[in-house]
Amino acid sequence: MSLSELAAELDARDPLARKRAEFDVDPELSYLDGNSLGAPPRAVAPRLAEVVGRAWARRLIRSWDEGWWEAPERVGGRIAPLVGAAPGQVVVGDSTSVNLFKALVAAVRLRPGRHEILLDGGTFPTDGYIADGAAGLTGHTVRRVPVDELAAAVSERTAAVVVNHVDFVSGRLHDMAAVTAAAHASGALAVWDLCHSVGALPVRLDELGADFAVGCTYKFLNGGPGSPAFLYVASKWLESFDQPLAGWAGHRDPFAMSADYAGGRGIRKARTGTPDILSMLALDAALDVWDDVTIDEVRAKGLALGDFFLRCLDELLPDARVLTPREHRRGNQIALSWPDAGTVMAGLIDRGVIGDFRPPDTLRFGLAPLYTRYHDVLRAATELRTLT
């Protein structure tokens, strides 16, 4: 069977093929950059029109008492099952960077007398910037360590370990169970960045004992450009959680306008400022696509798409240097090391295949199972061969 015939058969048998109709995706494009910005679910535009045209234009300030004010916790509750969290531990708001700052400073405050932060050596740059900034304010030092060496590096000096669940360049999936257990064995806390795993693969924060986690919602959750991020605080830490950006939205009685801060109960205290309602409710609408699908179904297709992409590369471009693990220790992306990668990706985009380029020489192809087709994967490999 040819690759073209196999792609057609796989698309015909795909149990998630029906989900593509729920997204506004240009049928002429093969969009393989959902790991940077997810495609818009069709439900988002009418929801925003309703929010602007009725809730804002007609109800005006009354809408704060009609669902707006509680939206960060309510939308966080919709994300909780996707990260393996029981209710009441996830809140939506601010950016990933801001939430990481909150989580990391709170974590080191829970471990006084320890002056080291261990950081995933291949971390997404903003995580490193935030860790350095937090360390400078709290008197800690940051040590960058390859994830494979974290278990051996953590010690009685370590207050917190900050790790990306999926490496943003290679797509490698890191072992949350092993890293978290190693941190806890030395008395440190584990802070996880889930930006490239939430909505792509099962995450088991509660089961594996993670302490804190953050993640964005504009990749595999399709919340839209700049949609608010989320913060997870394990239930065991909610009472003692002392976040550094105490703001009025996290106050126990925000409208009392008290001069003194008293944190709200539970996950509410993780809030800081006024929620971004338009982006928040766009995300809320985007999450509707999960109502009739499980993360296990999405993971199964994501792995199958990756396996098919690797087969296409093996047959069409056998000399391609694949950075992503071939075994299933990966997220939903395939990354290649490629000469003149920036120019090559520009050429692919001109041909209707949209992936992305990471300097100096990496081509990344994100596989969003809710709308990516096997045809899109084959087209990417075929066009890449044409450009070589």
DSSP structure string for 182-215: HHHHTT-EEEEE-TTTTTTS---HHHHT--EEEE
Say which of 172, 271, 299, 364 is annotated catalytic: 364
Report CA-CA distances (Å) from 163 to 119, 151, 238. Answer: 6, 12, 21
Instruction: Yes or no: say if 90 and 76 are a contact pair by the CB < 8 Å rule.
Output: yes
Known catalytic residue at 124? yes
Residue 366 and residue 324: Cα distance in Å, rounded? 12
Say which of 193, 211, 276, 376 is annotated catalytic: 193
Best CA proximity match to 220, nearest among 69, 54, 62, 35: 35
Planar angle of CA 183, 146, 217, nearest 5 degrees: 75
Known catalytic residue at 269? no
Say which of 101, 124, 308, 357 is annotated catalytic: 124
Burial 162-173 (b: 16+ CB within 10 A, else e): bbbbbbbbbbbb
Main-chain phi, psi angles of 110, to 5 degrees: -80, -10
Planar angle of CA 25, 30, 36, nearest 5 degrees: 75
> Does an H or E element contain 172, and which?
none
Say which of 102, 219, 301, 379 is annotated catalytic: 219
Residue 4 and residue 75: Cα distance in Å, rounded? 41
Known catalytic residue at 219? yes
Say which of 23, 31, 218, 371 is annotated catalytic: 218
Q: Which residues contact 262 (CB under 8 A, 6 or more apart)?
A: 251, 252, 253
Residue 59 and residue 34: Cα distance in Å, rounded? 35
Known catalytic residue at 357? no
Residue 97 and residue 101: Cα distance in Å, rounded? 6
> Does an H or E element contain 118, and which?
strand 116-120
| Residues known to be catalytic | 124, 193, 218-219, 364
